[in-house]
Amino acid sequence: MPELPEVETIRRTLAPHILGQTIKKVRVVWPGAFVLPAKMTPARALRGRAVVSLNRRGKYLLLGLDDGSTIVAHFRMTGSFVFYPRPRAGSKHTHVIISLTAGQLHYTDQRKFGRLQFVPAGELAALACLNKLGPEPIAEDFDLEYFAKKLDNKKSAIKAALLDQTIICGLGNIYADEALFRAGILPFRPAGSLKLSELFLLYDAVRVTLREGIESGGTTFRDYKDADGHSGSFQNRLRVYGRGGLPCLNCGRALTKIKVSGRASVYCADCQH
């Protein structure tokens, strides 16, 4: 599932290809992938519009158009954008093809949980999925004081709090497990039980882990690719995620795999407390 580093990598690799380009044609192969207001058609919404901005909020990618409207991409499990300099036929998982002045943008999604949502001008601020989101973990508005206040007295597991997009946005299972290992904190500890020194370690670990994920171009297990079709390499730097039963890279003890709040979690019983 694309998390913050994967979506940020798609944004960075896509921007130079599509910014300033005009949409010439839209082909929706599977209508379920493209959500738009009643009585509007994809062609009417997008044709002739120029792409003027490409931003990210949490795990969402936002394509801003010149009339103030926005395409919000929710990638969920396996959604992705790939840019092709020359027009070409889609694969069997290509659901939307956006033809630009030069090149084509393909929206692909094998599991079909993702969506492209067309939001008319002036309506973005009211979009529920975006305005519930907490601060961006790698931005300045996410500070230790805010983090401590949000977790204060919280009984739920710290892992669940990290995955709660209303506290901080962008973390999923991979980067949450990695950040907890880096900070030396057990995933099932009640969030409110962390001491200030531990909160600082975790705050720092979240930011460092996400930045390393972005530097590596994201994590590729099966499907994820950037907008140029290249795989990420953070899978080679994972220390706990996907390594249940394997030796801890720090101490050698076999890593433990359990479920925390319904999500698979891997940790080291010696290195995390």
Q: Which stretch binds Zn ion (CB under 5 A): 64-72, 93-101, 231-239, 264-272?
A: 264-272
Find the shortest distance in angstroms from Cβ 199 to Zn ion. Answer: 21
Strand order in the sheet with 115-119: 34-35, 115-119, 70-74, 60-65, 51-57
Residue with tokens 């009585």: 39
The distance of closest approach from Cβ of residue 138 to Zn ion in the complex, given in angstroms and rounded to an integer, is 27
Position among 26, 82, 179, 268 found at the interface with Zn ion (CB under 5 A): 268
Helix/strand/coil for 39: coil
Q: How far apart are CA 200 and CA 216, in angstroms?
A: 24
| Nearest by Cα to 60 from 3, 105, 126, 128 | 3
What residues pair up with 263 in beta bridges, in sequence order? 260
- Asked about 159 being catalytic, the answer comes back as no
Which of 46/248 has CB closer to Zn ion? Answer: 248
Between 164 and 270, name the residue whose CB sits nearer to Zn ion.
Answer: 270
For residue 101 the two structure tokens come to 């002045």
Determine whether 120 is an active site residue.
no
Closest to Zn ion by CB, 100 vs 185, is 185
Contact 47, 77 (CB under 8 A): no
- 147: closest CA among 186, 190, 196, 182? 196
DSSP state of 140: T
Among 4, 7, 72, 248, binds Zn ion (CB under 5 A): 248
Nearest approach, Cβ of residue 180 and Zn ion (Å): 12
Which helix (H) or strand (E) element contains residue 260?
A: strand 256-260
User: Is there binding between residue 271 and Zn ion (CB under 5 A)?
Assistant: yes
Total binding residues for Zn ion by CB under 5 A? 6
The piece of 58-66, 188-196, 212-220, 248-256 that touches Zn ion (CB under 5 A) is 248-256
Active site residue 3: yes
267 residue type, one letter:
Y
If one asks whether residue 251 binds Zn ion (CB under 5 A), the answer comes out as yes
**Per-residue contact flags (x/-) with Zn ion for residues 192 to 231, judged by CB under 5 A:** ----------------------------------------
Give contact residues for Zn ion (rule: CB under 5 A). Answer: 248, 250-251, 268, 270-271
- Active-site positions read 2-3, 59, 263
